[in-house]
Chain A
Amino acid sequence: MEKFQKVTGIAAPMPLVNIDTDMIIPKVFLKTIKRSGLGVNLFDEMRYDRAGNELPDFVLNKPQYRDASILIAGDNFGCGSSREHAPWALADFGIKVIVSTSFADIFFNNCFKNGMLPIVLPQAEVDLLMKDAEKGANARMTVDLENQQITTSDGVTIPFEVDAFKKHCLINGLDDIGLTLEKVSAIDTFEAQSAQSRPWV
C-alpha cells in the first residue's frame, strides 16, 4: 500500500448530511471484479445526467474542484453498505482525505485499508474547513498525518485524533494481512483451545 504522510491539495465542500454509499458509487458499478477504474463513476447519479453528460452544478464538476484531493463533508458520511467500492472510487478519483463530524463505521475502516485518511472533527471545526473549502482552487489545505494537524489556506491549524495503530499502518503503507500473519502462532493456539472448549464451532 502507498505510504501516507502529508497531503496538500484542494478541498471540495460537500455539506450534505448522510451521504450514503449508494450515492458514492451506485450499485450498477459493483459488478466489477476489479478494484480499479471506479473514479469516473464516483457520485455517478449526482455527477452525470442519464445520457452521461456532466451536471455543471455538482461540486466535483466545477473547474476549481476537479482536482480535489480532500473532501469536507456533512454528518454521517459513507452510511449504508459495506461496499469497499466506495473508498476505491474515491481513491481512484484522487481523494486522500475526508473530513466530517462522523462517519459510518464500516466505511471508516475501509478507508484506512486503501491508504485514505478519514478525519472526525467537531461541528465548529468542520464548519471552518467547509468555509475554507468554499474559496476554491487557490485555497489549498495541508493534512499532516505525522503531526496530526490540518492547516487551512489562512494558516489556521486544527489538530485531529487518529487511532495509533491505523496511523502507523498508513504512514508505513503496511499490509494488515502480513502483520496478522506474524501472529499466526497465537491464532493456532486459539484455534486449538477453541476446539476443546467450543468443539461445535
Chain B
Amino acid sequence: MSAPKTLYDKIWDAHVVSQDEDGTCLLYIDRHLVHEVTSPQAFEGLRMAGRPVRAPEKTIAVPDHNVPTTLDRVSGVIANEESRIQVEALDKNAKDFGINYYPVNDIRQGIVHIVGPEQGWTLPGMTVVCGDSHTATHGAFGALAHGIGTSEVEHVLATQTLIQKKSKNMKVEITGKLKPGVTAKDITLAVIGHTGTAGGTGYVIEYCGEAIRDLSMEGRMTVCNMAIEGGARAGLIAPDEKTFEYVKGRPHAPKGAQYEAALNWWKTLFTDEGAHFDKVVTIRAEDIEPVVTWGTSPEDVLPISAVVPAAESFTGGKVDAAKRSLDYMGLEPGQKLTDIKIDVVFIGSCTNGRIEDLRAAAKVVKGKKLANGVRAMVVPGSGLVRHQAEEEGLDQIFTEAGFEWRMAGCSMCLAMNPDQLAEYERCASTSNRNFEGRQGYKGRTHLMSPAMAAAAAITGHLTDVRELMAAEEIA
C-alpha cells in the first residue's frame, strides 16, 4: 500500500508532467482564467514569439478590475482611456487567440473568481491558475488554485503548464460549531489574525473540521479566497456532497456518464488517514467572534468588542508597522472599535460578492435606513448574481435603505475603476485587503463580513451585528 497522502498530494501527483532531479516539476494546468490587467503583456509576448495559445478551450477570460459598475455602462464605453484600452486589448486578445470570453455586456460577466465556479469551469481535483492572487478562491472545490504573475500567464498560455516546486502541507482545522452570527469571513480573518500574513508562506493550506464542513460553497469560497492573505500559495477544502451538488448541471460541468465518471474520482479527493502535515493550526469555532480589522494588514484582526491596540503591544518590526498603521488609519490606542465612525460601506468583491453574501447583508438592512452621511454600495460579483438577487427582491431592500445597487465588477475592492474612497474616508468593506491606498489614495479600510458591513451602514459606526438583530437570524 502506498503512503497516505494529503488532498494536496493527490491533486499534485495527478498533474505532474515531468520531474527533474532537484524536484522541479512541470505541472499541467486544467483551467486558466484571465482578466484584463495582468494579461496584455503576456499576449504581446506570444505575438512577438509567434506562439499560439496551446489550449484555448481551457482558457477563460473576463474583464473585471477596470470596468465601471454604474448602470449606464451598458450603453456606453469606459470613460477612462487607459481602462478602456486595457479592456479593449482583452476583447481583441480573446478573439485573436480563440479563448472563451465573457465581455462587459454579457450577463455572465463578473469577477473572474465568481464567474469560474458559476459557469462550472472550476471542478474538484483540477489545477486552476489566474494572474490574480485571489485565485485561491477556487480551492473551495478541492481544486489546486493559485495566483501567478504575467510571465507565468504567458507560460501557461504557451504551454498549458507551470514550472513548480511542491509546497509544504499545512492543516487548518476549525473544530466544533460557530456561534450564531459568526460567518465564513470571520473564520478566514480569525485564521490570518492567528497565523499572521506570512504564516502560510511556502504552504498549501487544507481547511477542515466541522465548522468548515458546515459552510455552504459560498462560505468555503470566502475562506479559501483569503488564504493568500495568510501568505499561503493556495487554500483547499475537500469536496463533499455540497460540492458535487453545487457543480452539477452548471454550463461547463460534465454531464451524464461523464459526470458519473468524474464523481467517482472526485470522491477519492480527501486527505488519507495518517497523512503528514508539516504544520497544523487548530482553532475552536466557538472562540471565533465577529471580527474587524483595525490596521493596514489583513493580520490586524480583532473581535468587534475589542479596543484599538497600542503599537508597543507588538514586538519586533511590527511595532513600527503598527505605529504607521495607526497613523494612517487615524486611530488612537484604547479607542473602542465600536466607536469608530465610517463614511462608506462596500459590499461586494471576490471575497463576498456572491448571492449568499447579498442575502446576509439584506437581512440586516431590511426595513432600515442608512445612517446619516453614509454612502453605501452593493456590487454583485457577477451579472447572474445580480439577476438572482433581483429575482429575490434584494435590490429593493438595498435601494429602499439608501444603498446604490450596481453592475458586476471588482469595484471598490481595488479602486482601479471609478469606485474609490476619497482621501481620509473610512470604509466598512467586505473585500480582502486593507493595505494603504488599496481603496483609494489615503482611504481607510476596515475588513469585515457582509452582515457586519451592513450593520455599520445602518448605525454609521463599526457595530456588532448581533446588537441589531437576534444572532440566530444572521446568516
Binding site for B on A (CB under 8 A): 15-18, 20, 22-23, 26-28, 30-35, 45, 50, 74-76, 79-84, 87, 102-106, 109-110, 113-114, 163-165, 176-177, 179-181, 183-184, 186-187, 190-191, 194, 198-201
In the bound complex, residues from chain B placing their C-beta under 8 Å from that of A76 are: 197-198, 201, 231
The answer to whether A187 and B28 touch across the interface, beta carbons within 8 angstroms, is: yes
Asked if B431 lies at the interface with its beta carbon under 8 angstroms from chain A, I say no
- Min CB distance A64 to B, Å, is 21
The answer to whether B133 and A75 touch across the interface, beta carbons within 8 angstroms, is: no
Please provide the chain B residues from 332 to 355 with a CB less than 8 Å away from any CB of chain A in the complex: none
Asked if B396 lies at the interface with its beta carbon under 8 angstroms from chain A, I say no
Asked if B222 lies at the interface with its beta carbon under 8 angstroms from chain A, I say no
Partner of B321, one of A17, A87, A110, A201: A17
Contact with A along B256-286 (1 / 0, CB 8 A): 0011011001000000000000000000000
Asked if B245 lies at the interface with its beta carbon under 8 angstroms from chain A, I say no
In the bound complex, residues from chain A placing their C-beta under 8 Å from that of B297 are: 18, 20
Name the prevailing secondary structure of the B interface residues.
Answer: loop
Given contacts A33-B85, A181-B158, contact A75 B41 (CB under 8 A): no
Contact with A along B116-150 (1 / 0, CB 8 A): 00000001011000011101000000000011111
Contact with A along B58-88 (1 / 0, CB 8 A): 1000000110000000000000101101100
Partner of A177, one of B30, B44, B155, B202: B155
- Min CB distance A21 to B, Å, is 8
Residue of A nearest to B262 (CB): A200
The answer to whether B197 and A18 touch across the interface, beta carbons within 8 angstroms, is: yes
Asked if B469 lies at the interface with its beta carbon under 8 angstroms from chain A, I say no
The answer to whether A79 and B26 touch across the interface, beta carbons within 8 angstroms, is: no
The answer to whether B126 and A201 touch across the interface, beta carbons within 8 angstroms, is: yes
Given contacts A16-B324, A176-B155, A180-B163, contact A109 B231 (CB under 8 A): no
The answer to whether B41 and A198 touch across the interface, beta carbons within 8 angstroms, is: no
The answer to whether B161 and A199 touch across the interface, beta carbons within 8 angstroms, is: no
The answer to whether B82 and A200 touch across the interface, beta carbons within 8 angstroms, is: no
- Min CB distance B59 to A, Å, is 13
In the bound complex, residues from chain A placing their C-beta under 8 Å from that of B86 are: 31, 33
The answer to whether A33 and B133 touch across the interface, beta carbons within 8 angstroms, is: no
Stretch at the interface among B94-102, B434-442, B454-462: B434-442
Residue of A nearest to B314 (CB): A17
Report the Cα distance A75→B314, complex, angstroms.
15
The answer to whether B254 and A177 touch across the interface, beta carbons within 8 angstroms, is: no
The answer to whether A16 and B317 touch across the interface, beta carbons within 8 angstroms, is: yes
In the bound complex, residues from chain A placing their C-beta under 8 Å from that of B216 are: none
Binding site for A on B (CB under 8 A): 14, 17-18, 20, 22, 24, 26, 28, 30, 37-38, 40-41, 44, 49, 51, 54, 58, 65-66, 80, 82-83, 85-86, 89, 123, 125-126, 131-133, 135, 146-152, 154-155, 158-161, 163, 165, 167, 197-198, 201-202, 228, 231-233, 253-254, 258-259, 261-262, 265, 297, 299, 316-318, 320-321, 324, 414-416, 433, 435-438, 441
Residue of A nearest to B325 (CB): A18
The answer to whether A200 and B41 touch across the interface, beta carbons within 8 angstroms, is: no
The answer to whether A84 and B151 touch across the interface, beta carbons within 8 angstroms, is: yes
Given contacts A16-B321, A22-B436, A27-B416, contact A187 B201 (CB under 8 A): no
- Min CB distance B446 to A, Å, is 16
Report the Cα distance A102→B202, complex, angstroms.
10
In the bound complex, residues from chain A placing their C-beta under 8 Å from that of B149 are: 82-84, 87, 106, 109-110, 113
The answer to whether B133 and A106 touch across the interface, beta carbons within 8 angstroms, is: yes
Other contacts beyond A110-B151, A165-B163, A199-B261: 5, CB < 8 A: A22-B437, A30-B416, A31-B37, A82-B149, A84-B41
The answer to whether B198 and A187 touch across the interface, beta carbons within 8 angstroms, is: no
Report the Cα distance A103→B253, complex, angstroms.
37
Given contacts A34-B41, A84-B38, contact A20 B435 (CB under 8 A): yes
Residue of B nearest to A27 (CB): B416
In the bound complex, residues from chain A placing their C-beta under 8 Å from that of B433 are: 20, 22, 80
- Min CB distance B26 to A, Å, is 6
Residue of A nearest to B318 (CB): A17
User: Sorted from nearest, which 10 A-B pairs have the closest CB atoms?
Assistant: A200-B254, A113-B151, A31-B82, A110-B149, A84-B149, A82-B147, A17-B317, A33-B40, A76-B198, A84-B150
Report the Cα distance A35→B320, complex, angstroms.
33
Report the Cα distance A20→B299, complex, angstroms.
13
Q: Which of B14, B146, B232, B317 counts the most A-chain CB atoms under 10 A from its CB?
A: B317
Given contacts A75-B317, A80-B435, contact A186 B123 (CB under 8 A): no
Report the Cα distance A75→B319, complex, angstroms.
13
Q: Which of A102, A180, A183 counts the most B-chain CB atoms under 10 A from its CB?
A: A180
Report the Cα distance A199→B85, complex, angstroms.
37
The answer to whether B321 and A163 touch across the interface, beta carbons within 8 angstroms, is: no
Report the Cα distance A201→B318, complex, angstroms.
45
Residue of A nearest to B18 (CB): A186
In the bound complex, residues from chain B placing their C-beta under 8 Å from that of A165 are: 20, 22, 24, 163
Q: List 19 A-B contacts (CB under 8 A).
A: A17-B317, A17-B318, A18-B197, A22-B435, A22-B436, A27-B438, A31-B66, A31-B83, A31-B416, A33-B40, A81-B147, A82-B132, A82-B135, A83-B149, A105-B202, A106-B228, A177-B51, A198-B125, A200-B254
